[in-house]
């Protein structure tokens, strides 16, 4: 058990859902977006390493030095499951965020006592390429697509599984032989067997694109396959309950799509990008890892796409390049480190519309995550930059439909008005939830208000809304219960 469990116990006692730690920084708790200070001193690096224990292994250290950050999952027997993100700083030190996972209403997870499951960090091959799939995969992926699956999970010697509407289903009873099923060449196979992960894009006629993430586990080879449609969806097809189309008409600024893995951040960004190409005469540049949705330029727009690891070594280099390529709109797959965030904010301030994503659970925590990527002495400067450049934060959850199959998005949307900009500039993030409750006319909506509207309309079951809410008490208030 990691010593950090002692802090996670305080998180539960205070009904918080996020814990942020950093070398030479005071620990910080967020309770559904509101900052709750802890009476604890700044944490020296050695103390923080001791707190993390087996979470921060030497392998994790190497990944952070190479990639800038890594993500993992920590299952605490006493306190539940957490998404963990460890990010290196531009100078010395690192920051760690623990985000408590929402319990899915239809899924019960029984974690083993104090087991840490670390997702294999992907280290891109020198030039990831699109390859022809082996004969086994097309049939399997076509079957999964027919079931409306979002992902397929494969393991050597085990039956394939597909994720449909958030739940795992067995695709067949036949055990897989991944050494022949996966379309890996000898060099890629050697990389996977050495402990690295390899990502491959494949095209399937009549099905669309698929992203194959191959990696090694204790049982042998494994793969996670994300199914992608032939083209980017329209905003209307996403069934987002608040209008977002006007965001693509902004001449400049930063628009963030936030949420957990699989919440639809990339889908929303692709829909916004496609809407911008349709409505405006622009040059749109994208930096993605990897390229996912197919975007289509119009006669009056231009599209330039670059894949991290293939067309450009990293996000920061690609973003610096893009600023010299006369873009109007920049689609940045993810803001991963302080350098990338700095360049994105600079781009937003200098006449570009920047669309990007962030891994966090609320609009307030998105702002804190950006500020916490920098040393404390730069916090005031970053808050001023954010107040001036941030235009909107969209936080997403996918919730099962009450009737029929499929899931619906529940969103929290923060529009940065003059009042919100003042809150950000002054570092009073705890006031954001209150400000959001009174700003619906500006297009702002708290997650719990959106969930309550879905419940009242009969679109989402009450128990599913409670499981997705950041603050169940606020949900009950909106429902009048």
Residue 401, domain CATH: 3.40.50.300
Q: What residue has token string 């209403």?
A: 105
Task: Specify whether the CB–CB gap between 382 and 429 falls below 8 A.
Answer: no
- Residue 1: the pLDDT is 53
339-395 per-position pLDDT tens digit: 999 999 999 999 999 999 999 999 999 999 999 999 999 999 999 999 999 999 999
Q: Let me know whether 212 and 69 are in one domain.
A: no
What tens-digit pLDDT sequence spans the chain (481 residues)? 567 888 888 887 777 888 888 888 888 888 766 677 667 788 888 888 888 888 888 878 877 877 778 888 788 877 888 888 898 876 678 889 888 865 433 333 323 333 333 333 333 433 444 445 556 788 888 899 989 899 999 999 999 999 998 889 999 888 888 888 888 888 888 889 888 888 887 877 777 788 899 999 988 899 999 898 778 899 999 999 999 999 999 999 999 999 988 899 999 999 999 999 999 999 999 999 878 888 999 999 999 999 888 899 999 999 999 999 999 999 999 998 899 999 999 999 999 999 999 999 999 999 999 999 999 999 999 999 999 999 999 999 999 999 878 899 999 999 999 999 999 999 999 999 889 987 777 889 999 999 999 999 999 999 999 999 999 999 999 998 6
| 153 and 277, same domain (yes or no) | no
Q: What is the pLDDT of residues 59-88, one digit of tens each?
A: 788 778 777 788 887 888 778 888 888 988
d(CA 447, CA 436): 10
Place of tokens 């992902």: 151
Which backbone phi and psi does 238 adopt, to 5 degrees? -80, -15
Report pLDDT for 83. 83
Verify that 108 and 153 share a domain, yes or no.
no
In a domain? residue 127? no
What is the three-class DSSP state of 31? Answer: strand
Tokens describing residue 424:
């950000």
- What CATH number does the domain containing 86 carry? 3.30.450.90
48 falls within a domain: yes
Q: Is 389 within the bounds of a domain?
A: yes
Nearest one of 143, 148, 146 to 160, comparing CA atoms: 143
**Tokens representing 135?**
């004969």
**Domain end point (choices 117, 150, 179):** 117
Q: How many structural domains does the chain have?
A: 3
Asked whether residue 123 is domain-assigned, the answer is no
For 344, the 3-state DSSP assignment is helix
Q: What are phi and psi of 403, to 5 degrees?
A: -125, 125
Examine the domain organization and report whether 424 and 285 are in the same domain.
yes
On whether both 108 and 66 belong to a single domain, the answer is: yes
Residue 246 phi, psi (nearest 5): -65, -20
- Both 109 and 253 in a single domain? no
Please tell me whether residues 402 and 337 are part of one structural domain.
Answer: yes
370 with 330, same domain? yes
Question: Does 124 reside within a domain?
Answer: no
Shared-domain flag, residues 252 and 363: yes
Say which DSSP state 377 is in.
G
Residues 215 and 258 in one domain: no
The answer to whether residues 416 and 287 belong to one domain is: yes
Strands 329-332 and 353-358: parallel
Instruction: Judge if 420 and 273 occupy the same domain.
Output: yes
Q: What is the extent of the structural domain holding 371?
A: 236-479
- 363-372 and 379-389 are packed helices; what angle lies between their axes, rounded to 10 degrees? 140
10 Å CB burial of residue 137 (0-12, 13-18, 19+) is buried
Q: Is the peptide bond before 290 cis (omega within 30 degrees of 0)?
A: yes
């Amino acid at each position: 058990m990691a010593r950090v469990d002692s802090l996670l116990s305080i998180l539960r006692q205070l009904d918080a859902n996020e814990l942020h730690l950093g070398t030479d920084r005071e620990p910080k708790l967020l309770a559904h977006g509101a900052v709750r200070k802890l009476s604890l001193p700044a944490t020296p690096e050695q103390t923080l390493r001791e707190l993390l224990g087996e979470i921060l292994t030497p392998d994790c250290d190497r990944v952070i030095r190479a990639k800038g950050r890594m993500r993992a999952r920590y299952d605490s027997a006493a306190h539940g499951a957490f998404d963990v993100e460890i990010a290196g700083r531009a100078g010395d030190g690192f920051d760690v965020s623990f985000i408590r996972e929402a319990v899915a209403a239809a899924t019960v997870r029984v974690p083993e006592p104090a087991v840490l499951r670390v997702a294999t960090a992907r280290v891109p091959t020198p030039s990831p390429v699109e390859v022809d799939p082996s004969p086994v995969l097309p049939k399997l992926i076509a079957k999964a697509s027919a079931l409306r699956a979002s992902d397929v999970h494969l393991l050597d010697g085990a039956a394939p599984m597909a994720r449909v509407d958030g739940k795992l289903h067995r695709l067949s009873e036949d055990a897989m032989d991944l050494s022949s099923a996966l379309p890996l060449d000898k060099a890629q196979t050697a990389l996977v067997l050495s402990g690295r992960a390899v990502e491959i894009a494949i095209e399937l006629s009549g099905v669309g694109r698929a992203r194959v993430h191959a990696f090694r586990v204790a049982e042998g080879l494994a793969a996670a396959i994300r199914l992608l449609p032939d083209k980017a969806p329209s905003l209307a097809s996403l069934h987002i309950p608040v209008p977002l189309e006007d965001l693509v008409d902004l001449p400049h600024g930063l628009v963030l799509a936030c949420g957990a893995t699989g919440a639809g951040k990339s889908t929303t960004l692709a829909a916004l990008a496609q809407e911008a190409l349709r409505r405006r005469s622009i040059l749109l540049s994208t930096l993605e890892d990897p390229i996912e949705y197919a975007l289509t330029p119009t006669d009056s727009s231009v599209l330039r796409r670059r894949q991290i690891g293939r067309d450009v070594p990293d996000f920061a280099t690609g973003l610096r390049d893009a600023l010299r390529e006369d873009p109007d709109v920049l689609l940045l797959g993810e803001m991963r480190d302080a350098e990338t965030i700095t360049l994105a904010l600079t781009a937003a301030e200098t006449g570009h519309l920047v669309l990007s994503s962030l891994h966090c659970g609320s609009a307030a925590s998105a702002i804190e995550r950006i500020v916490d990527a920098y040393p404390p002495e730069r916090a005031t400067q970053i808050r001023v930059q954010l107040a001036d450049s941030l235009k909107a934060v969209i936080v997403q959850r996918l919730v099962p439909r009450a009737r029929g199959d499929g899931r619906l998005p529940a969103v929290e949307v923060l529009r940065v008005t003059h009042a919100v900009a003042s809150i950000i500039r002054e570092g009073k993030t705890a006031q954001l939830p209150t400000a959001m409750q009174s700003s619906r006319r500006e297009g702002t909506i708290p997650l719990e208000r959106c969930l309550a509207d879905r419940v009242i309309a009969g679109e989402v079951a009450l128990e599913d809304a409670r499981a997705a809410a950041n603050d169940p008490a606020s949900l009950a208030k909106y429902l009048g219960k």
